[in-house]
């Protein structure tokens, strides 16, 4: 990489940092003035600080994700998460280890909450987002620290294989292997195998949803699904794909690029392991918490999956954060509304674990 390119990326890093700071700190009365007329789509009004934040990103000259290529897309995404993710929450312990996977060793990262006294902890088996192409344990470190510090659960984050080097269903196979390993071996390092929550955001939520289907009926199954703006149908064009497909960070072109990297051919989109909404039967799944964002191309997919589970007598809670955009899990440090949404999701998770007797 040339010196000029390095300098340009450093400038971009500083601009993103300033944008995040301004979006976070500017008085809301000023935001209402500088952001202009409210943005309304499908009867939803974009949160004003988020609107201003998107304008700042556009003015910084940030390129569309699908134009960056795989290697740069990965580095830029991890940088984005680091800049916007907020402060690093204190945790008790972080341990990296490798476990048996379907194609060799699979890396996982275990986070334990500070001050935990229980011998066996409830645990989030967490899969990061990134369209099955980008995202990493390092990029999601701030998110996982937050979840560990605020849920009272241990977190086991999975470094599943990414496309295009590893096409579908590699990520799914890794997810299933990680769950089976955790259920069998987790008690050896403080994980309660009866209290495993499968969780993730975006593509990670897709992996969690498919994994719950794959281990349905097993002697040891997840106690809960926690799905944050999941992609549930890679084949269908739903209304939010178009109405929210441009101008709200994740674009329709980005989604098409991710899909092309992930699938060997478009015919695979009909496979329920790629599109969990297309499963013939959703009965017998663990209870589910499904969270979506109002200004997200994936909004309608997530709601449709929640509806189908409820119709299949799966206890399902769905909430739409109607003023937020896709990816808000990684924007806690820049957008107060994203931070509040994170707090609300965690409170719901804790309530549901308590209700289940966990």
Annotation marks residue 202 as catalytic: yes
Query: Which residue bears the tokens 């939803």?
Result: 44
Which listed residue (174, 192, 202, 240) is catalytic?
A: 202
Which listed residue (66, 128, 241, 326) is catalytic?
A: 326
Sheet containing 104-112, strands listed edge to edge, beginning at the edge strand earlier in sequence: 93-101, 104-112, 154-158, 121-127, 191-201, 224-228, 288-295, 316-325
Dihedral sign, Cα of residue 294, residue 297, residue 298, residue 304 = positive
> What one-character DSSP code corresponds to residue 62?
P
Which listed residue (78, 201, 296, 300) is catalytic?
A: 296
Instruction: Please say whether the beta carbons of 132 and 258 come within 8 A.
Output: yes
Backbone angles phi, psi at 94, to 5 degrees: -130, 125
Annotation marks residue 326 as catalytic: yes
Alpha helix stretches (DSSP H) within 244-358 = 252-262, 299-311, 336-355
Instruction: Label the pairing between strands 154-158 and 121-127.
Output: parallel
Annotation marks residue 201 as catalytic: no
Nearest to residue 326, comparing CAs of 234, 204, 225, 162?
Answer: 204
* β-pair partners for 317: 289
Query: Which residue numbers are catalytic?
Result: 202, 296, 326
């Amino acid at each position: 990489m040339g010196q000029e390119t390095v300098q340009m990326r450093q400038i971009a890093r500083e601009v993103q940092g300033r944008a995040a700071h301004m979006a976070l700190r500017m008085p809301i009365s000023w935001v209402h003035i500088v952001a202009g007329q409210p943005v309304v789509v499908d009867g939803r009004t974009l949160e004003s600080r988020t609107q201003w934040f998107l304008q700042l990103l556009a003015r910084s000259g940030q390129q569309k994700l699908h134009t960056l290529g795989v290697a740069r897309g990965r580095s830029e995404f991890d940088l984005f998460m680091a800049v916007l993710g907020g402060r690093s929450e204190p945790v008790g312990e972080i341990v990296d280890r490798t476990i048996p996977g379907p194609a060799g060793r699979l890396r996982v990262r275990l986070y334990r909450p500070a001050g935990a006294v229980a011998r066996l902890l409830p645990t989030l088996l967490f899969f990061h987002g990134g369209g099955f192409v980008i995202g990493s344990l390092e990029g999601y470190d701030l998110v996982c620290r937050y979840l560990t510090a605020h849920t009272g659960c241990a977190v086991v984050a999975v470094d599943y294989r990414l496309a295009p080097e590893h096409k579908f269903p590699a990520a799914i196979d890794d997810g299933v292997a990680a769950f089976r390993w955790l259920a069998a071996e987790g008690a050896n390092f403080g994980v309660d195998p009866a209290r495993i929550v499968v969780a993730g955001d975006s593509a990670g939520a897709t992996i969690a949803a498919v994994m719950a289907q794959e281990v349905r009926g097993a002697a040891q199954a997840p106690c809960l699904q926690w799905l944050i703006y999941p992609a549930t149908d890679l084949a269908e064009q739903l209304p939010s794909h178009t109405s929210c497909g441009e101008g709200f960070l994740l674009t329709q072109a980005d989604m098409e690029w991710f899909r092309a990297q992930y699938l060997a051919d478009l015919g695979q989109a009909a496979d329920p392991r790629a599109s969990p909404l297309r499963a013939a039967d959703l009965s017998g799944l663990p209870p589910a918490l499904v969270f979506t964002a109002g200004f997200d191309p994936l909004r309608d997919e997530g709601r449709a999956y929640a509806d189908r589970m409820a119709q299949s007598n799966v206890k399902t809670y769905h909430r739409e954060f109607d003023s937020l955009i896709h990816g808000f899990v990684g924007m806690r440090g820049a957008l107060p509304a994203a931070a509040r949404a994170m707090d609300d999701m965690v409170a719901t998770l804790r309530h549901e674990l308590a209700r289940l007797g966990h």
